[in-house]
Structure 1
Amino acid sequence: MHESSWATFLTARKAERQACDAPRPLRALAEEFAFRALALMFPQFAHPARMGAEGVDDEAMHLEALLRAAIGPLVAEPDQVVRTFLSRMNTVHAALVLDANAIMAGDPAAMSLEEVIVAYPGFLATAVHRIAHELYLLQVPLFPRVLSEWSHRETGIDIHPGARIGAGFAIDHGTGVVIGETSVIGDRVRVYQGVTLGALAVSTKLANRKRHPTIEHDVVIYANATILGGMTVVGAGSVIGGNVWLTNSVPPRSVVQFTSRVEQRDGDDGLEFHI
């Protein structure tokens, strides 16, 4: 880059920073805020130096300061948002305890509740989602989405902060799960890796419409199933098999399966597979 072009570039960047109201380190704030919120709710996430009872006050103080710093330039009344969010932390914690128990109850590989909380990506993604969702409900712009994208990078699970998720939610394995903004998920729902709850069409004209499916209570959705459309409802107690592609509603207690065709080879047809 020519020296004068470099100087022009730097001048433009300085002007942008002076004019921009959004906090620059928002991604870093989101990561620290998520960890502080988790540490406040679950000692498994706490820093060793803050493990004692006095550490709770320290985590709470830092959490409040981080949230105020993150949303201060983004909302008109940050203090009110901060107070309301903090008042909902007990409800978020209670919901996450149910989620952790649901994951453990459905996974024979889980040896303890602590293992689920510390090691399971499905729990981490759900925890960050429930935090981000509260801020989404408070109409905080940008920050909830940054939180969800941090969780996405950490876990491979992409849950939009607008998605409404009921009690006792369990994600098993989780890699590649996508849950869209207007998804509605009932209680005691379990999903496996690669599940997509998506939209039938992608258009900015649909921004304020329900684009993603509704999953009623007690549904199990197995690996790599794709369920699309805002009018699509999966009835309570249903089981959606692996690799199913579903764009129509199914009644309660349905079993939807993907059927593979098996053919016997005749002689040596030259086919050879290397994996």
Structure 2
Amino acid sequence: MSRQDITQQLINTVDELSDPKALQGLFHEHYDGDPLPSGKELEEIIELSRAVLFPGFYGNSFVNIQTTKYQIGVNVERLHKLLTRQVLAGLCFNEDCHCAHIEDIRKCMREEAEMIAQRVIAKFPAIRQMLSTDVQAAFEGDPAAKNEGEVISCYPVIKALTNYRIAHELYLEDVPLIPRMMTELAHSETGIDIHPRATIGTHFTIDHGTGVVVGATCVIGNHVKLYQGVTLGAKSFPLDKDGKPIKGIARHPILKDGVVVYANATILGRITIGEDCVVGANVWVTHDMEPRTKKYRQNKEDRLDVRFDEGEGI
């Protein structure tokens, strides 16, 4: 093949890749000057957030009680700047702004992004308090953990929950795209996939963590513990008249307070797992469970549900 033939083939390939029909649904057109979401900046946002929430464990390892306020202040200032920029990048994907001119749109979005970033950072004390209960749950639930510092430094659940709890606040602020990107960063880092829309109470922990999936409309109470490989998922989606999945409906499980779900269990659909239930390993659950009941498999053919009030079961 001659050099001219190679050049022409490359030109033809570029033409095919640039065809609007081939790009349908795969191309984001934006105005000149509009920011695009940055995975690298979001990683820095997560690093700064962890350093603010857990000073000394993340970020500057030489921080002490005399310099903590200074270090947190520096980190918060940088965090607000980066978070504003990334929230703005998310808002630029939203086409609902009705400002008459592009200059007005940019100003409107910039002001909104700055206020959203401020409101989310203002919730960091409450987020830290929630995370402290998660650290406590992980420490008390694992005999191998020597102290809370080991949990904060080493356990993937704390990293995943830090991302999730920040992303959840951004989701509640109706920020497009960015919350999901933040939880997907945790997914890549830890193997734990928590949708930012999910609602999770206090004292939540995941032992080991690899392969856990928590769907978008899950509601998880307080003092809930999951093990590796657990899926809190949905059944087949209901379809509209055009055969497309109906979005926005509640389709994932509700786990009440005190539930324990062991490794590789799968809980599907908008069902309720009652208070203090135990779901055994490798079990499929597609129906409600009454409070204080246990579901497990004795063998491949037999499933057994028992109550464990007054000494029955475990």
Match of 2:52 in 1: 40
Identical-residue share of aligned pairs (%) = 37
Q: CA deviation at 1:35?
A: 1.1
The 1:31–1:4 alpha-carbon spacing in structure 2 relative to 1, beyond 3 Å, is same
Q: Which amino acid aligns with 1:140?
A: V
Q: Alignment partner for residue 104 of structure 1, among 125, 139, 144? A: 139
Give structure 2 stretches of 5+ with no counterpart: 1-5, 92-108, 239-243, 302-314
User: 1:86-139: CA deviations, max 9, x gaps?
Assistant: 111111000000000000001000001000001000111111111110101111
The 1:16–1:194 alpha-carbon spacing in structure 2 relative to 1, beyond 3 Å, is closer
User: 1:232-271: CA deviations, max 9, x gaps?
Assistant: 1000010100011000001100111122269xxxxxxxxx
Q: CA deviation at 1:72?
A: 1.4
Match of 2:82 in 1: 66
Q: With a CA cutoff of 8 Å and minimum separation of 6, indicate the structure with the bigger relative contact order.
A: 1
Q: CA deviation at 1:206?
A: 3.0
Match of 2:234 in 1: 199
Q: Which amino acid aligns with 1:177?
A: V
Q: Which amino acid aligns with 1:254?
A: T
User: 1:160-207: CA deviations, max 9, x gaps?
Assistant: 000000000011000000000000000000000000000001466332
Give structure 1 stretches of 5+ with no counterpart: 263-275
Q: CA deviation at 1:32?
A: 1.0
Distance across 1 between alignment mates of 2:267 and 2:28: 42
Match of 1:24 in 2: 36
Distance across 1 between alignment mates of 2:72 and 2:89: 27
Distance across 2 between alignment mates of 1:258 and 1:21: 58
User: 1:67-95: CA deviations, max 9, x gaps?
Assistant: 01101133331122112111111110000
1:94 aligns with 2:129: yes
Q: CA deviation at 1:46?
A: 1.4
69-78 or 246-255, larger mean C-alpha shift: 69-78
User: 1:7-66: CA deviations, max 9, x gaps?
Assistant: 7679x99x9776477633521121111111111010201134766322111110111011
Residues 67-216 of structure 1: pairs in structure 2 closer than 5 A: 67-75=83-91, 76=109, 77-202=112-237, 205-216=245-256
Q: Which amino acid aligns with 2:155?
A: Y
Q: Secondary structure in 2 aligned to 1:205?
A: coil
Q: Alignment partner for residue 250 of structure 1, among 271, 289, 292? A: 289
The 1:174–1:20 alpha-carbon spacing in structure 2 relative to 1, beyond 3 Å, is farther
Residues 194-273 of structure 1: pairs in structure 2 closer than 5 A: 194-202=229-237, 205-230=245-270, 232-260=271-299
70-79 or 190-199, larger mean C-alpha shift: 70-79
TM-score by length of 2: 0.77
TM-score by length of 1: 0.87
Conserved? CA contact 1:192–1:221, under 8 Å: yes
The 1:103–1:21 alpha-carbon spacing in structure 2 relative to 1, beyond 3 Å, is farther
Q: Which amino acid aligns with 1:241?
A: G
Match of 2:3 in 1: none
Question: Could you say which structure has the larger radius of gyration?
Answer: 2
Q: Which amino acid aligns with 1:221?
A: V
Match of 1:267 in 2: none
Q: Secondary structure in 2 aligned to 1:176?
A: coil
Q: How many residues align?
A: 260
